Structure 1
Amino acid sequence: MKQSHTRKMMGRWAGIAAALAATCGAAQAQSFPAHPLKMVVPFSAGATADTLGRMMARGMQDELGQSIVVENRVGAGSTIGATAVARSAPDGYTMLLGSGSTHTTAPVVYKQMPYDPVKDFQPIALIGTTSYVLMVNPKLPVQTLQELLAYARAHPQKVSYGSTGQGGAVHLATAMLESLANVQFLHVPYKGGAPAIADLLAGQIDFSLGTVETASLVNSGKLRALAVLGPNRLAGLPDVPTCVEAGVPGCVFPVWNAVFAPAGTPAPVVEKLVAAVQRVRALPQTQARLRELGYEPGTGGSAVLAKRIVEETEFMRKTAAAAGVAPQ
């Protein structure tokens, strides 16, 4: 009898605790946000992702009625910034401008991860998708992707490329190209895309992967675009063929950016953040700017983004295995 009574009391207390938690969560959501928020961008200032993060922060602060401070925390293939958000209080006040680098490539190329991309984050919503563009310094004596590959085969591990960091998306995408085309390049990792492009312009490296935002550098003749690592040509560079069109079947690499919060963020707060991203994403000026940056606006909310991460991580594992990229 005593045990039965104890179980009943424990059940009652559990129910009361759950009710209190729900009440607190609802109260928190009603007052959220009560002070400024922070958007952590794990990419260097001036990079396309940084531009995207600042655009979303401006739009979301108008929707939420509080300022959003953008903080660049770069390094370790973008995992330093992601780690900081994963360890932040799950109250909705700290967000991450995430990408494939933070959520689908990092767990494939690093043996020890400081966070779990699925368990430690609450997906908010996808901002948009795009494709990498392979660009060379005009001094390199090549005009097409096939010429670059032939030149690299004739000079193994002499043709250098800059990435956003060891284990980052650019590194894995280029490793995929090496595997598919049977070539070897010299990898030069940087702490972000902006310094890599700067050294590419200066002739310190031979090529790199960037987004269509660098189209102005191509159109002005400062860089030469050889191929798009995506399923379709980009509107900003309509004359640049895809890798498949240029003779490398299967050379398609997904690129995207999205907003995340720490795992455990109360559902009502998550709903407010999802709604804010969706409203900003749907604005005509946001969609126009996304397309200027070479992105297609994303769709859906948390569930769509969560599904994408699971499916794409499996794709990255297969890609890394085929390219011979072992976890380090």
Structure 2
Amino acid sequence: MQRRALLSLATLSPLAAQAQPRWSPDAPVRLIVPFAPGGSQDVLGRLLAQAAGPILGQTVVVENRAGAGGVLGAEAVARAAPDGLTVLLATAGQLTIAKAIGRRLPYDPIADFAPILHLSDSPVALLAAPQLAVADAQGLLRMAREAAQPLPYASTGIGTNTHLIMEDLKARERLNVEHVPYRGAAAAFNDLAAGRIATMFVSVPSVLAATGGQFKVLAVTSRERFPATPDIPTLIEAGVKDFEASIWTGLSAPRNTPAPIVARLAEAFRAAMETELVRARLGGLGVTPNGGDGAAFAATLREDLERWTRVAAPLDIKLD
């Protein structure tokens, strides 16, 4: 009888677990956006907050914590209580790239966060100056390999995505290019249009927002052609085998956030990404939905950190 009773309890336990109510926030959820208002990441965060609130049954409040390349916002989440009420709109700038380039961080970007969801991806675009005598990415790569003097390339700052992606391409394709860092894309665009800069990588949203013939758009870094720019080939099509690079966005919570809370947040924000409110704006923001769960997002973080650490190692980047 005792054995039968134990078997009965074991049989019923999954049902009992299923009968437990799902976690629901008992106060507004703070979505920390580690950037100033107005940019594409901030717009995405606000759309997700608006869509996820009704799903969670609580208001989701966007809190902009700009500064130090997003580190201040990430630190606020790392130090928050692991109760599901504070989450980070995470990008590589605060997590993988920050550590890869040797920044002194007030948190461990892997150990101090619980990955919730890989929200979206956006490739970057390879641009060339309008005066440059190239018609496509193959032509630019050939010119850069054969150049007697280094071709100057711009980035949006030392240690940024656009810097490291070009350095990765440079190493793989043995390009003779030289880095010229800028503080943001606007000044770089001006010099590219004037021919003082030969080439650069830039985010797809910046390309979508540009007007006129101030530069040539030669390729994107997604595996397949990007839906918002279907006429632009990929670097893989240009012959650079398996070359992909994404400006990804994810959702993270403080470490030790209980698994049921992580699961519920993932479910709610994944559903938010599928709402018409959000989907209607994704193309204009230059992003595509991903939807990878916490385990998949954690794997992306590890792979990203390994890649950018390898790329940054010979560059001797000093920021702090």
For residue 71 of structure 1, the aligned residue among 64, 69, 78 is 64
Structure richer in helix, relative to its length: 1
Q: Following TM superposition, by how much is the alpha carbon of 1:125 offset from its aligned partner in structure 2, in angstroms?
A: 0.8
For residue 47 of structure 1, the aligned residue among 25, 39, 45 is 39
**Structure 2: which amino acid aligns with 1:287?**
R
Q: Which residue of 2 aligns with 1:214?
A: 206
Q: Following TM superposition, by how much is the alpha carbon of 1:44 offset from its aligned partner in structure 2, in angstroms?
A: 4.6
Q: Which residue of 2 aligns with 1:310?
A: 302
Runs of 4+ in 1 over 6 A off after TM superposition: none
**CA distance in 2: counterparts of 1:173 and 1:269, whole angstroms:** 35
Q: Which residue of 1 aligns with 2:7?
A: none
Q: Which residue of 2 aligns with 1:325?
A: 315
For residue 185 of structure 1, the aligned residue among 168, 171, 178 is 178
**CA distance in 2: counterparts of 1:318 and 1:263, whole angstroms:** 26
For residue 113 of structure 2, the aligned residue among 118, 121, 125 is 121
**CA distance in 1: counterparts of 2:180 and 2:36, whole angstroms:** 19
**CA distance in 2: counterparts of 1:57 and 1:289, whole angstroms:** 14
Bigger shift: residues 245-254 or 167-176: 245-254
**Structure 2: which amino acid aligns with 1:41?**
V
- TM-score using structure 1 length: 0.75
**C-alpha distance after superposition, 1:21-68 (max 9, x if no partner):** xxxxx99955x2423x33222345443323222221222233332141
2:99 aligned with 1:107: yes
Contact 2:31 2:88 in 1 (8 A): yes
Calculate percent identity across the aligned residue pairs. 30
Change (3 A) 1:82 1:249: same
Q: Tell me, what secondary structure is at the counterpart of 1:216?
A: helix
Q: Which residue of 2 aligns with 1:252?
A: 244
Q: Tell me, what secondary structure is at the counterpart of 1:90?
A: coil
Q: Tell me, what secondary structure is at the counterpart of 2:95?
A: helix
Q: Which residue of 2 aligns with 1:198?
A: 186
Q: Tell me, what secondary structure is at the counterpart of 1:102?
A: coil
Q: Following TM superposition, by how much is the alpha carbon of 1:305 offset from its aligned partner in structure 2, in angstroms?
A: 1.5
**Structure 1: which amino acid aligns with 2:43?**
T
Contact 2:36 2:64 in 1 (8 A): no
**CA distance in 2: counterparts of 1:136 and 1:38, whole angstroms:** 41
Change (3 A) 1:161 1:327: closer
Change (3 A) 1:203 1:312: closer
**Structure 1: which amino acid aligns with 2:54?**
D
Q: Tell me, what secondary structure is at the counterpart of 1:203?
A: helix
Matches within 5 A, 1:1-328: 29-30=23-24, 32-35=25-28, 37-64=29-56, 65-76=58-69, 78-110=70-102, 112-138=104-130, 142-149=134-141, 150=143, 153-156=147-150, 159-163=152-156, 165-181=157-173, 182-190=175-183, 196-203=184-191, 206=197, 207-217=199-209, 220-320=212-312, 324-326=314-316, 328=318
Contact 1:90 1:262 in 2 (8 A): yes
Change (3 A) 1:201 1:317: closer
Q: Following TM superposition, by how much is the alpha carbon of 1:139 offset from its aligned partner in structure 2, in angstroms?
A: 5.3
Contact 2:208 2:286 in 1 (8 A): no
Q: Following TM superposition, by how much is the alpha carbon of 1:241 offset from its aligned partner in structure 2, in angstroms?
A: 2.0
**CA distance in 1: counterparts of 2:65 and 2:84, whole angstroms:** 18
Change (3 A) 1:43 1:175: farther
**C-alpha distance after superposition, 1:1-26 (max 9, x if no partner):** xxxxxxxxxxxxxxxxxxxxxxxxx9
Q: Tell me, what secondary structure is at the counterpart of 1:97?
A: strand
Contact 2:22 2:264 in 1 (8 A): no
Q: Tell me, what secondary structure is at the counterpart of 2:231?
A: coil
Q: Tell me, what secondary structure is at the counterpart of 2:117?
A: strand
**Structure 2: which amino acid aligns with 1:277?**
F
**Structure 2: which amino acid aligns with 1:94?**
T
Q: Following TM superposition, by how much is the alpha carbon of 1:287 offset from its aligned partner in structure 2, in angstroms?
A: 3.0
> Unaligned 5+ residue runs, structure 2?
1-19
Q: Following TM superposition, by how much is the alpha carbon of 1:184 offset from its aligned partner in structure 2, in angstroms?
A: 2.4
User: Cα RMSD over matched residues?
Assistant: 3.1
**Structure 1: which amino acid aligns with 2:152?**
V
Bigger shift: residues 272-281 or 142-151: 142-151
**C-alpha distance after superposition, 1:146-204 (max 9, x if no partner):** 45452693442x624122x43232221111122123222223153xxxxx222233337
Bigger shift: residues 301-310 or 144-153: 144-153
Contact 1:133 1:226 in 2 (8 A): yes
Contact 1:83 1:115 in 2 (8 A): yes
